[in-house]
Amino acid sequence: MNADSGAVVLNGGQRLALKYFSVAITLFAAQVIFGLLAASQYLVPDLLYNLLDFNVNRMVHINALVVWMLYGFIGSAYWLLEDESGHEIVGLPLANFVFWLLTAAVGIVVVVYLLVQSGPGDDFTLWFINEGREYIEAPRWADIGITFCMLVFFYNVAATFMRGRWSGIGGVLVLDLVALAGLYLAGMFYTTNISMDQFWWWWVIHLWVEATWEVLVGCIMAWALMQVLGVRRRIVQTWLYIEVAMMFGSGILGLGHHYFWIGTPEYWFSIGGFFSALEPVPLVAMVVHSVYDAGAHKMRNANHPAMAWIIAHTFGNFFGAGVWGFMHTLPQINLYTHGTQWSASHGHFAFFGAYATIIIAMIYIALQRQRGNIWMGADMPDGGWKWKWALGLLNLGVVGMTIALMISGFEQAFIERAVEGSTWAGYFTAQNHPWFQQGMIWRFIFGVVTACGLTLLVWDLLTIGRRETRRALQPVAGVVVVLLLLLAAGSLPAYAGDTAAGRSKAEACAGCHGDDGISVSDPLVPVLAGQSADYLAVQLMAFRQGVRQNEVMNAMAEELSDSDIQDLAAFFAALPAGAEAASAPPPMVARGKAKYAACAGCHGLKAEGDGMRPRLAGQSAAYTLKQMRDYASGARRDPVMEGIAAAFHDDDFNHLAEYIASLTRQQ
């Protein structure tokens, strides 16, 4: 990546993703505004009476929520698609057209919601105004339009991976999108039988939100962790599979916790209760995964806002979706809490914690690239106060609303349900109770806090990195494959890995090779500082494949990805070669010097090395000696070196090693 060019060229998918992200944030704002309106109607019931009633505000509130999250997911998928598949997006013009089509449809639906609001009890209303089913109120024409758009989206993603290369993330993503689009069809029919209606309605709502959406953000999260922290692909993909296994293993039958009270048979008590109890497990796994990775990489990264939102995602997902969900999914508790503010408490925390957070993280990752791949780590020009306060206020606001609603929910479950017996009089007794009212007041206050956080977030998204000139130097995707192809062809490009990333990855090496790449304690551990990057990379690959044998190095290298190897090689190659010249008896050195003539052709007159031929200068005599003996015995393999070693006597090895060790590292 050219560190001097200001403009970064985004690929077609990334430009499209930015459009999706813009609409997503706009709808997020709409969600908060209409949420505040609905919240204030709890406090001032006559507010906008018969003009913009609670049901309209609440419908826009939750529909904006669902749609902005879908926009965020679609945008995230388009953002990572070309990088992940190594192929330009198939059907990009159609994808761009569909963006405008979908956005126009969303606009029309919202205008009709606000201006027409409701219609007579006939099919026209269901087709063109409002279907009146919570979360999927969108009229039928819009359902069909949304399905068409989702199919095009699916085509873009699947066809691009098919033309490019598949990965674990790509495979999970494509299969998940099949489920996502297919499940929506379960909500696209009318039936008078309300038990049947809600049975299938939950297929959409639950199997989206508690299964396929979770897996979708699992894919986004896996990709984001590789981007932000440089976590190895093998690690994130293994975790992704574990999460899919546990998420679908618990979430598919966890659907049963919605089948306690809608007319469905009693066996759902056991099935729903049991599998719901398991649902938090994958969310714990995600917390462990991300926090462990962040710790393993010492939190070092060039995008602090994205990293912070990723951590907010894992905790929000675990507490909001996992803990707050489990608190009331056992039927013994749900009998009293079903249909109370308890659900609203869980809903606010879960949607924000599980989904809003990771979308915001992806937007920060996207903006970093869009603004010129700039540095977004520590020491921002303004100290990063905007993103930090936005993060704090949004999380405080949502957690505050969650706790306020939970207190109201507790009160409702006890007073309306347990004591008063769930009649209308019982309902209003609970609603009028000061404990309930106080919860509503605090919910409104924290709603305002959330709105402030969002305002700041929008300001930050518009401005972050505008005055930044430092580069982030992220690993270049795709370079690894090119590298391996060139390696197979026998020539390595002069690819410079990411030295900054290499520095943090080299923590594990320092124990033996020294902080500065100069080993001091064990003479058999080579000096790496100033070694040729290509040579280092190839050796690490050889250790990883077991072609070169060393118990410690084989184990260490096995954990390395190709990009890790490039980064490490670049890091060590860039370190100053500062070793002192070793002293040795002059006669021995002189004899070695004469014999070195056989080596200089490849390793250079000063043993400085050249590309694939390693620098020898500065290595300990013991190390060099061992290498030559290993070549002679065949313990270390290299056709050229084995032949040369066979031509020397063991005494010669000693002399050569001493001579090489005596060479200074100055060129």
Choices 42-50, 351-359, 389-397, 462-470 (CB under 8 A): range interacting with other proteins? 42-50
Which one of the spans 74-82, 266-274, 465-473, 610-618 is the region binding other proteins (CB under 8 A)? Answer: 266-274
Name the CA radius of gyration of the chain, rounded: 31
Our finding on whether 242 is near other proteins (CB under 8 A) is yes
Q: For other proteins, which residue of 30, 59, 359, 472 counts as binding (CB under 8 A)?
A: 59
- Considering only 27-35, 69-77, 256-264, 629-637, which stretch makes contact with other proteins by CB under 8 A? 256-264
Stretch that binds other proteins, among 260-268, 372-380, 602-610, 626-634 (CB under 8 A): 260-268
Stretch that binds other proteins, among 54-62, 79-87, 354-362, 626-634 (CB under 8 A): 54-62
Considering the rule CB under 8 A, would residue 572 count as an interface residue with other proteins?
no
**What are the backbone dihedrals phi and psi of residue 31, each rounded to the nearest 5 degrees, phi first?**
-55, -45
Among the listed ranges 237-245, 452-460, 592-600, 625-633, the one in contact with other proteins (CB under 8 A) is 237-245
Residue with tokens 């010129």: 372
- Asked if residues 347 and 327 have their Cβ atoms less than 8 Å apart, the reply is no
Q: How far apart are CB 338 and other proteins at their closest, in Å?
A: 4
For 466, counting Cβ atoms within 10 Å of its Cβ (0-12 exposed, 13-18 middle, 19+ buried), the class is exposed
Nearest-angstrom CA–CA distance, 334 and 575? 62
Q: State which of positions 617-636 bind other proteins (CB under 8 A).
A: none
Shortest distance, position 619 Cβ to other proteins, whole Å: 28
Shortest distance (Å) from residue 11 CB to other proteins: 27
134 belongs to the binding site for other proteins (CB under 8 A): yes
The reply on whether position 131 binds other proteins by CB under 8 A is yes
Among 93, 265, 295, 383, binds other proteins (CB under 8 A): 265
Q: Which segment (258-266, 390-398, 449-457, 626-634) binds other proteins by CB under 8 A?
A: 258-266
DSSP string, 512-539: HH-TTS---S-TTSPP-TT--HHHHHHH
Helices marked H in 86-193:
92-115, 123-128, 140-163, 168-185
* Side chain identity, residue 382: D
Indicate the helix (H) or strand (E) that contains 334. helix 331-337
Cβ 257 to other proteins, closest distance in Å? 12
Please tell me whether residue 429 binds other proteins under the rule CB under 8 A: yes
CB 82 within 8 A of CB 76: no
Interatomic CA distance for residues 38 and 53, integer angstroms = 8
Amino acid at 295: G
Selected from 93, 120, 383, 490, the binder of other proteins by CB under 8 A is 120
Q: At closest approach, how far in Å is the CB of 417 from other proteins? A: 6
Asked whether the beta carbons of 173 and 158 are under 8 A apart, the reply is no
520, 514 Cβ separation under 8 angstroms: yes
Site for other proteins in 298-337 (CB under 8 A): 335-336
Number of residues forming the site for other proteins (CB under 8 A): 89
As to burial, measured by CB atoms within 10 angstroms (0-12 exposed, 13-18 middle, 19+ buried), residue 652 is middle
Site for other proteins in 177-196 (CB under 8 A): 190, 192-196
Own/partner long-range contacts of 473-477 (Cβ < 8 Å, ≥24 apart): 473/1, 473/3, 473/302, 473/373, 473/498, 473/499, 473/500, 473/501, 474/1, 474/227, 474/302, 474/373, 474/498, 474/501, 475/230, 475/501, 475/563, 475/566, 475/567, 476/1, 477/83, 477/84, 477/86
Question: Contact with other proteins (CB under 8 A): which of 1, 53, 114, 523?
Answer: 53
For residues 92 and 215, which CB has a smaller minimum distance to other proteins in the complex? 215
Closest CA to 222 of 214, 211, 162, 151: 214
Q: Does 432 bind other proteins (CB under 8 A)?
A: yes
Q: Of 181, 323, 344, 582, which one interacts with other proteins (CB under 8 A)?
A: 344
Which x/- pattern over 361-400 shows residues binding other proteins (rule: CB under 8 A)?
----------------------------------------
